């Protein structure tokens, strides 16, 4: 079993998500979002014992302990790194700096190919549940109160209401999913009047 497991994604010359997560055996996850992510800054959250066991099983099935990074035959420039680091219970540490511009020259199904390493990294993130911190799903809400109406994009109703100043009761309705690719909540439109928006 691992004592600490961390995964870090670094900057590139575009808008690559920049963040780091660290997991301990008791399921505590330390998050630090540095750029191009929905949750900027530090926070902690908890994953279940089952997910911790899944991480342990994944490390074992991938043989991460003995993994040695070998550069690919092809390379693309300006790409980020994905750096994984595991400290095992016996004190042994393995760290892998995977440059995402390194590529196998053909489809490679070997356990320790670069293709397999990338799948391993994505699987680690799925188990931990980083997606909502990297790129949260936003929904469009119509909010109407007294003489004001708003169209708001937010991950949930509570945050949508927090974005607008409303006194007293209001009517809120989820319209659909925001497909703009925005990382952060925002007010799309506001109007003073009867609370209806024309097409």
What is d(CA 108, CA 188) in angstroms, rounded to the nearest whole number? 46
Query: Could you tell me where the DSSP H helices lie in the chain?
Result: 49-62, 114-128, 131-134, 157-163
CB atoms closer than 10 angstroms to residue 158: 8
Report whether 151 contacts 188 (CB < 8 A): yes
What is d(CA 10, CA 114) in angstroms, rounded to the nearest whole number? 18
Asked whether residue 198 carries a pLDDT value surpassing 60, the answer given is no
Give the lowest-confidence range in 4-8, 51-55, 73-77, 86-90: 73-77
CB atoms closer than 10 angstroms to residue 1: 14
Give pLDDT, residue 106: 66
CB atoms closer than 10 angstroms to residue 167: 8
pLDDT in tens, 51-82: 999 999 999 999 999 999 988 888 888 999 99
Give pLDDT, residue 199: 44
What is d(CA 128, CA 184) in angstroms, rounded to the nearest whole number? 21
Give pLDDT, residue 63: 96
Domain ranges in the chain? 2-134, 139-192
State the pTM of this model: 0.85
- Please list the residues that pair with 109 across neighbouring strands: none
**Residue 167 vs residue 180, higher pLDDT:** 180
Identify the architecture of domain 2-134 in CATH. Answer: 2-Layer Sandwich (3.30)
Cβ-Cβ contacts under 8 Å for 186 (sequence gap 6 or more): 152, 153, 163
Give pLDDT, residue 167: 73
């Amino acid at each position: 079993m691992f004592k600490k497991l961390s995964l870090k994604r670094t900057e590139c010359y575009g808008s690559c998500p920049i963040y780091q997560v660290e997991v301990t055996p008791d399921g505590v996850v330390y998050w630090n979002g540095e750029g191009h992510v929905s949750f900027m800054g530090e926070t902690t959250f908890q994953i279940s014992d089952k997910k911790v066991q899944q991480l342990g099983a994944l490390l074992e099935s991938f043989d991460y302990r003995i993994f040695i990074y070998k550069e690919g035959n092809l390379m693309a420039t300006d790409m980020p790194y994905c750096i994984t680091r595991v400290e095992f219970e016996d004190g042994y540490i393995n760290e892998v700096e995977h440059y995402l511009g390194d590529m196998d020259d053909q489809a490679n199904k070997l356990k320790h190919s670069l293709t397999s390493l990338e799948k391993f990294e994505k699987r680690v993130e799925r188990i931990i549940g980083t997606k909502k911190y990297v790129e949260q799903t936003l929904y469009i809400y119509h909010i109407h109160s007294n003489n004001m109406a708003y169209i708001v994009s937010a991950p949930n109703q509570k945050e949508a209401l927090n974005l607008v100043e409303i006194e007293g009761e209001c009517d809120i309705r989820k319209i659909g999913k925001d497909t703009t690719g925005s990382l952060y909540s925002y007010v799309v439109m506001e109007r003073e009047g009867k609370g209806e928006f024309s097409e």
